[in-house]
Chains A and B, each alone.
Chain A
Amino acid sequence: MTIVVPTLETPRPTPEPGKRSRRRGLDLPGILIPLIACLYVGVVILLPALSVVVSAFAKGVGPFLENFRSPELLSALRLTLFATAVAVPCNVIFGLAAATAIARREFRGKALLLSVIDLPFSISPVVVGLMLVLLYSPNHGLLGGVVDSLGWRIIFSWPGIVLATIIVTFPFMAREVIPLLEEEGWDQEEAARTLGATDWQVFWKVTLPSVRWAALYGLILTTARALGEFGAVAVVSGNIEGQTQTLPLFVEDAYKNYQTELAFGAAMVLGGVAIVSLLLKILVEQVLEQDKKASRMEQEG
C-alpha cells in the first residue's frame, strides 16, 4: 500500500462540494434522484400515513380518547391481542425448531422445503382463509363433521382467527434465523456436545444466544403482522361485531358505516403499533449489523 500511483487518480479529483458541477451531467442526477425519491415516497407513503394521524386527532386528544369507550372497539382490540398472544409463541417455537432442524444440514430438497415455508408470503391471505373454511366449515369443510361432532367451532369463532393468524405469520421467524445459523456454522455446538452438554443445554446455552437478535427481529415482524392481519381473518371470522371482529376488521367496518372517527381512532392504534415496531426493527437491525461485523472481525483476527 506504500507504493504511490498518482497518475491514474489525478484526472478524477475527489468531488469537493463546490467543484462538483465541473461535470455537468453528474450534478443534475445528484439533485434530481433524491428529489424524485422523496417526492414519490412522500406522495405514496408519507402523506397517507400523516392523514391517519391528522384525521385521528382532528378534533383534539379528548375526542380521540373518547373512542376508547366504544365497547365494540375494545372487544376488537381484546380479540386482536388474544390472537396475537396465541399465534406469536406458537410461531416462535416452530420458527426456532425449523431453523435448528434445517439450517445446518444439507439434504436433497432443502431449497424446496425453504420455498414451502415461504408459501404463506406469496399466497393471497384470502386464499389462506378459504383453505381454512374448506377444511373446518361445519357444513362444507373436509373435517367439518369431525369438528362438529367434537362440539368445536373453528370457523366464525376465535380458533379460526388464531389459525389464520398463525398461517399468515409463521415464515417470518424461520426466515430470519435460518440464514444466520447457516452463516455461523456449527463448531460451537459440537464443542458443547463434546464437553457433555445435553441437547437442551446446547440449544439454550449455545444456539439460542447466538441467534438472539435475529430471533428478536423475527419476533417483531411476526407480532406486527399478526396484529394487522386482515384478509385471512376476514374470511374465517364472520365479522360479528363485538364477538369475532378483530381490530383491523373493525377499522374497515367502522369506516364503511360512516363512523369515521372510530375508524381513524382504531387505525391510529394499529398505526402506532406499526411505528413502534418499525423503530424497534431499526434498533435491532443496527445491533445485528454490529454483531455480524464483530463476528467477522473475530474470524479474521
Chain B
Amino acid sequence: MTPAPLRRWRPPALSLPSWPWRITWTYLGLILFLPLGAMLLKAARVGPVGFWEMATTPEALATYRVSFGLALVASLINGVFGLVVASALVRSRFPGQRLLDALIDLPFALPTAVAGLALTAVYSTNGWLGQPLNEAFGLKVAFAAPGVTVAMVFISLPFVVRTVEPVLRSLEKEQEEASWCLGASPLQTTVRVVLPQLLPAILGGVAQGYSRAVGEYGSVVMISSNVPFKDLITPTLIIQKLEEYDFEAATVIGSVMLIFSLFSLLVINLLQVWGQRYQGNQA
C-alpha cells in the first residue's frame, strides 16, 4: 500500500532526506490507511442494497435523529453563546477573565469519561442543577435527551470560542468607529459591521463543534439512558451491534458516520478558505 505513493512523493535530492517521508507514509499507512481500508472493504462486501437496508433500519434512523439532531441543537446554542464568550474575552476587561479563558479549554483537556461523570452528577435529579430544574419545571435532564444535549454543548463549546476569538481580535477598530461616526447605533454596528466579518469563523466553529458532538461517545454514554428510539446515540448503537456480534450492521453504521466525518471535514476546510479570503480582502 505504501511503497507506491512513497516514490511519487520523494523530494528532489537537494532537500531534506527522504526518511521523514518514509516514516510519515509508513506510519500513516499502518495506523490510518490500513484500518480505514479494512472498514471500507468490509462495507463494500455488504453490497449496496444490503448497505442501504442496514443503514436505514428504524433503529438506526432513530439514533441518527438523536445524534445529528441534538448535536445541531447543541452547536447552535454554542454558536450564540460562544460568540458572547469570545466577545467577553476580547472586548471587555473584568475580574476573573483569565480564569474564564482557561476554563474554555477544560472540555479539550478533561477526559470525556470525567466530563460525563461530572455532568451526570450535576444534572441528575438530585444534582446541583438537576434538582432545581426538576422541581421547578419537571424537566429531567440526565438520563434523557436534554442530558445528551448538555454533554454535546459541553464538548463543543471551545470550538466556537477558539475559532471566533482570533478573528474578533484582528478586526480593525476603525470600521466600527466609522460606523459610529456615521450615526449607526451599537446594535446596527454589531449586526451590520462586526457580525458579517465574523460569520465564516462562527460557521467554521459551529461546524467543528457539530462534527465533534456527533461523534462524541464518552460523555454522552454516561449521561444518556441509552434507550433505543429515545436517547440512544449512533456511536453507542455501533458498540451495541459489536456486542451482539452483528459485525455487518456495525460496519455499515460506522461507514455512515465515517462518510459524515469526511463530508464535515470538507465543509470545515471550505469554510476556512472562505474565512481566509475574507481576511485577505481586509489586509
Contact = CB atoms under 8 A, between A and B. Distances in A.
A104 B30 CA distance: 24
Nearest to B256: A127
Contact of A101 (B21, B38, B215): B21
A131 to B, nearest CB: 4
B35 A97 contact: no
Nearest to A142: B38
A270 B107 contact: no
Interface stretch (A46-54, A66-74, A287-295): A46-54
Is chain B's interface secondary structure helix, strand, loop, or mixed overall? helix
A124 interface: yes
B113 A228 contact: yes
B117 A263 contact: yes
Contacts of B111: 227-230, 248, 251, 270-271, 274
Interface of B: 9, 11, 15-17, 19-21, 23-24, 27-28, 31-32, 34-36, 38-39, 41-42, 81, 84-85, 87-89, 91-92, 94, 96-97, 100, 102-122, 127-129, 150, 153-154, 157, 177, 180-181, 185-187, 211-212, 214-218, 221-222, 234-236, 238-239, 242, 247, 250-251, 254, 257-258, 261-262, 264-265, 268-269
Given A44-B157, A126-B236, 5 more contacts: A34-B88, A37-B81, A46-B103, A121-B212, A135-B34
26 contacts: A23-B186, A33-B91, A38-B88, A44-B157, A45-B107, A45-B154, A49-B103, A51-B128, A97-B20, A116-B28, A118-B265, A122-B265, A127-B39, A130-B238, A134-B38, A141-B38, A170-B31, A170-B32, A228-B113, A230-B111, A230-B112, A248-B114, A264-B121, A267-B117, A274-B111, A278-B102
Interface of A: 11-12, 23, 25-26, 29-30, 33-34, 36-38, 40-41, 43-49, 51-52, 55, 93-94, 96-98, 100-102, 104-105, 107, 111, 115-128, 130-135, 137, 140-143, 163, 166-167, 170, 189, 199, 221, 224, 227-231, 234-235, 248-249, 251-252, 255, 263-264, 267, 270-271, 274-275, 277-278, 281-282
